[in-house]
Structure 1
Amino acid sequence: MATTGDDAPDFTAPLATGDIESFTLSDRLDEAPLVLAFFPGAFTSVCTTEMCEFQDRLAAFDDLDATVYGVSRDSPFTLNEFRAQNDLEFGLISDYNKEIVDDYDVEMDFAELGVYGVAKRSVFVVDGDGEISYAWVSDDPGVEPEYDEVEQAVADAS
């Protein structure tokens, strides 16, 4: 599993910003610290709450010169609608092919629902050198990250 001190696995994926762009992690290190907030699925209750909480705290991350991105297995089209309906101002990365989930080793299943290979709720802070300076991964999809702890990790990485 990707953890603190590791080089962040690089990836290229679609980025939902209202439009759809290409996002390559290594090309965005000038925006560091980068907050990569993985979530299981758009339009679900805890995921919506989590992404809206990141939106509510966006000014604090901006003050720290950090950039927030959500990451999920949803299509970029779904993520654009999710952004619009929740007034999210940060980009959402589509890991539709499950490559990022695999590289960061944060896969989980909801077998009882027949849903496999979604992202565990997790947060990684990547510094300007491409190193993971903070990692939090939950095995319980109902648990949100400690947002103050994430902000402190960003401050420490700045």
Structure 2
Amino acid sequence: MPATGDTAPDFTAPLANGDVDSFTLSERLEDESPIVLAFFPGAFTGVCTDEMCTFQDRLAAFDDLDANVYGVSRDSPFALNEFRDQNGLEFGLISDYNKEIIDDYDIAMDFADLGVYGVAKRSVFVINGDGEVTYEWVSDDPGVEPDYDEVEAAVEDAA
């Protein structure tokens, strides 16, 4: 798992932003840093919906810091667009349908009792314009949300 000070693993994946576009982290860092990658286990679930809606509610604070927030999950880009629509999310959601980003960031978890494998642990990474991870938070408990004030402070430090 990339730790603070490490170079963030680069990736290209589908971006659900009302349409479906391509997202390449290294290309976006040139114009959109710092970037907040908020990994979540699955769209349309209670805690994940609360988390993404909280990021939406706090989006103005991230905008004021010239930061960009992206949610990341294993859901398809089409499901993520519906999730965005139903919850009024104004930021893009990255589809890691093939679990490549989750594996690169080493944050996979299973819900074996439900037959669900390889979803993202709830995690937040702040990445500066040089591609360096300046903040990382990973929870082994899918019911725990990040400390949003701490994430904002980390973004302010990275800006």
* TM-score between the two structures when normalised by the length of structure 2: 0.99
Equivalent residue letter for 2:103: D
- Following superposition, the deviation at residue 3 of structure 1 comes to 1.1
1:42-57 alignment runs, 5 A limit: 42-57=43-58
- Following superposition, the deviation at residue 119 of structure 1 comes to 0.2
1:1-158 alignment runs, 5 A limit: 1-29=1-29, 30-158=31-159
Equivalent residue letter for 2:108: E
How far apart are the structure 2 equivalents of 1:6 and 1:47?
Answer: 27
Structure 2 residue matching 1:41: 3-state secondary structure: coil
How far apart are the structure 1 equivalents of 2:92 and 2:138?
Answer: 21
Equivalent residue letter for 2:40: F
How far apart are the structure 1 equivalents of 2:46 and 2:97?
Answer: 20
- Following superposition, the deviation at residue 111 of structure 1 comes to 0.3
How far apart are the structure 2 equivalents of 1:56 and 1:33?
Answer: 19
Q: Deviations over 1:67-117 (max 9, x none)?
A: 000000000000000000000000000000000000000000000000000
How far apart are the structure 2 equivalents of 1:108 and 1:152?
Answer: 27
How far apart are the structure 2 equivalents of 1:3 and 1:94?
Answer: 22
- Following superposition, the deviation at residue 2 of structure 1 comes to 1.2
Equivalent residue letter for 2:98: N
How far apart are the structure 2 equivalents of 1:123 and 1:34?
Answer: 10
Q: Deviations over 1:38-77 (max 9, x none)?
A: 0000000000000000000000000000000000000000
Q: Structure 2: where are the runs of 5+ without partners?
A: none
How far apart are the structure 1 equivalents of 2:2 and 2:139?
Answer: 13
Structure 1 residue matching 2:53: 3-state secondary structure: helix
Q: CA RMSD in A?
A: 0.3
Q: Structure 1: where are the runs of 5+ without partners?
A: none
Q: Which runs of 4+ in 1 moved over 4 A?
A: none
State how many pairs are aligned. 158
* TM-score between the two structures when normalised by the length of structure 1: 1.00
